[in-house]
Chains A and B, each alone.
Chain A
C-alpha cells in the first residue's frame, strides 16, 4: 500500500471532530436557532427570490398533510355536518356559516415541530355559537372532528370547545382559506398546537367521551395546550 496507506489519521479526526461539533450543536442549538430565526426573518423580508424561505427556521407556514393529495371542494359544494349527541343535527353550507356572527382572531400559530408564525388572522364562526345553534344534549362530553381528506380527525372536550378562541374558520389572513391551508373551512384551535386545527373540516360529532385524533394515536397529546403539552415550553398563543 506504500505511502498511500500511511500518514496522519486525518479521516478519523474529521469524523470525531464532526461528532464533537454535532454534540455541541445539540447542546447550543436551541439558542442558536433563535438567533438565526431573527436573522433569517430580516433576510427573508428583503429576499426577492424567496430562496431564503427554504432555509431551516425560515418564517412561515409549512405544509403538512397525512392524506394522499390536497382535497379540493368548492365553496358551493362545501358542507359541514354537525351531528351526534345534539338536539337538531344540521348540515351547514359555507353561505350559512358566513351568515352567522363573525369572529376575527389574531394570534401566533405554533406548530408542535417548532415553527411559529406570528400575528396571523383567522376569521370564522365561534365553535360555541355553532354548538348553541344545534343544541348540545346533556350526555355530550366531547367533539370529534372529521375531514374530507378522508383520513384526518381531531377532538376537543366540550369545555375546550366552549372557549371563545375556538373557531370554525373560513378566512385566513382576511382571504378565503385556500385548499392547501385546509379550505374552504378548517378548524382553528388558537390556544393549542396547530395539529389540533384540523384542515378540510367536514364533520363535527358530539360524543360521550374524547376519541383521540389522528396524530394522537402516534403519541401526541390530546390536550395540546401550547407551552404546556407535548414536552414543549413555547410561549402560549392565546
Chain B
C-alpha cells in the first residue's frame, strides 16, 4: 500500500473493526434502552419482549470485540498506551481543567489524557452494566435487595454512558482528521504534530528530535 509520506499509520484493520463492531453494539444497546425506558418512545414501538431480548444479547456481546482483539499485538500496545499515565498526561489534564486560562496546546502522546480516561470509564462501565444486567436477566442469581441495587446502578450508569458516548461523538464530529484516522487507519502528519506531537515524534519517518 503506497501512502504519501505525509501520512501516519494510526489504527490497524483489527483496531478499526473492534471500534466499528463495539460502536454498533453500543448504539443498539443505547437505542433499545431508550425505547424500553422512555415512555414516549415505548409508546411508538411497543414490542417489549423483542426489545428486551435484543438489549440483553447486545449487552452480552459488547465486550467480545475487544476481547477477541487482544490476540493482536497492535491492540495490546494501544491498550498499554491507554492504561499508562505519565507526566505529560497530568499536565494535559490540568490544562484541560483550566482551559480558560492556559493556552493550548499541551503535548499529548498517541492518545491524550481525556481519551485515556474515556476509554477506562467506558470499559469499566460496560463491565458494571454486564454484571448488573445479568443479575436483572437471571433473577435467581441474586437475592432481591441485590437486584433492586443492580437495577439502581444499571439505570443511573446508563445515563452516564449515554452522556459519555454523546460527548465522544461530539468530539469526533468536530475533528474530520480524527474520523479519517478511524475510517482509513491513516492520518496526516500535520494533524498528528498538532494533536498528538509526542506520538508523531516517535513514528517512523518523523523529524528527529531537536
> Residues of A at under 8 Å CB distance from B?
1-12, 14-19, 21-22, 25-30, 32-33, 54-57, 61-70, 113-114, 149, 180, 218-219, 231-233
Contacts and interface: CB of A to CB of B under 8 A. Distances in A.
| B contact face: mostly helix, strand, loop, or mixed | helix
Nearest to B48: A66
Given A1-B77, A10-B120, A15-B123, A56 B152 contact: yes
B42 A63 contact: yes
A69 B41 CA distance: 11
Given A14-B124, A15-B123, A29-B148, A8 B39 contact: no
Given A65-B42, A69-B46, A26 B127 contact: no
B121 interface: yes
A26 B84 contact: no
B117 interface: yes
B87 A54 contact: no
Interface of B: 37-39, 42-43, 45-49, 77, 80-89, 109-110, 116-117, 119-121, 123-125, 127-128, 131-132, 135, 139, 144-153, 155-159, 198-199, 202
Given A65-B46, A232-B144, A6 B120 contact: no
A54 B46 contact: no
17 contacts: A1-B202, A4-B81, A5-B84, A6-B86, A7-B89, A10-B83, A11-B83, A11-B119, A12-B120, A15-B120, A18-B125, A27-B149, A33-B152, A62-B42, A66-B47, A69-B45, A232-B144
Contacts, number: 160
Contacts of B159: 55-56
B148 A64 contact: no
Contacts of A22: 124, 127-128, 131-132, 153, 157
Contacts of B120: 10-12, 14-15
Nearest to B82: A11
B106 to A, nearest CB: 14
A72 to B, nearest CB: 12
A12 B83 CA distance: 6
A233 B82 CA distance: 45
Nearest to A219: B139
Contact of B121 (A18, A114, A231, A233): A18
Contacts of B84: 4-11
A149 B147 CA distance: 31
A1 B85 contact: no
Contacts of A8: 84-86
B144 A32 contact: no
Contacts of A15: 120, 123-124, 127
B123 A5 contact: no
A57 B155 contact: yes
